[in-house]
Structure 1
Amino acid sequence: MELLLETVALFCMKLAHETEDSSPILRDDLLMSDYEREVFGLLVRRGDVEGIQAKVHECAGLALTALGGVGTVMGRELHRLAEEFSAVSTMEQLYAPLTALKGYLKNIQ
């Protein structure tokens, strides 16, 4: 689960901050310090669904802004997927919407 969460955050950061003329953002970049695997691992071990959702919401918000907000087709879809992720209430329910969110972010890179 931690790797999946980190991957979603990485894809969000890439959308928000990566430009064609810059170096690619990697998992060990300083930009990822609040979203690295260990941070998510702590939240997962605690069973902190709300904390996990808050972290994903932060980085998804950056990606949504980069896509032009909910007024764009890609922005609306990202918002919908992020809302589905935010609507779950247990750790067991996080996996499916998180996987869908990761797949979408990967596809629009």
Structure 2
Amino acid sequence: MDIASRLIIIIFITVALVVIALVLFLIYLLIFDRNQKHHAILRNYPELGRGRYFLEKAGPEFRKYLFNEENEGKPFSRDDLEHIVKSAKYMRGVIVFGSKRDFLKNAFLFGMLCSPN
């Protein structure tokens, strides 16, 4: 065998290994997306979900150069919307019954029970 045929065989094997690795990676992503419990869109439509989350990550760069700024959106700015979504989705900053008062303090209880009215 001459060097050209050996080079063709090496290139063919390399391309075949890259294609096999890519297919195995995509199968892994499909199985991972089907079995995860956090995102319904990834579980039901893995390709669309991956595309959505990619565009969501790339969104600030697109908006920065092509569209509105982060604080120009109507009716909510992008920062306000992100804060609302993260608070609702991950239950950050949620206080039970919406109260920040400490009802167990003695001054509060005695003030209510022993008021001179």
Do Structure 1 and Structure 2 share a fold, with TM-score over 0.5? no
Bigger Rg, structure 1 or 2: 2
Could you state the TM-score of these two structures normalised by the residue count of structure 1?
0.28
**Greater fraction of residues in helix:** 1
Name the structure, 1 or 2, with higher relative contact order (CA <8 Å, separation 6+): 1
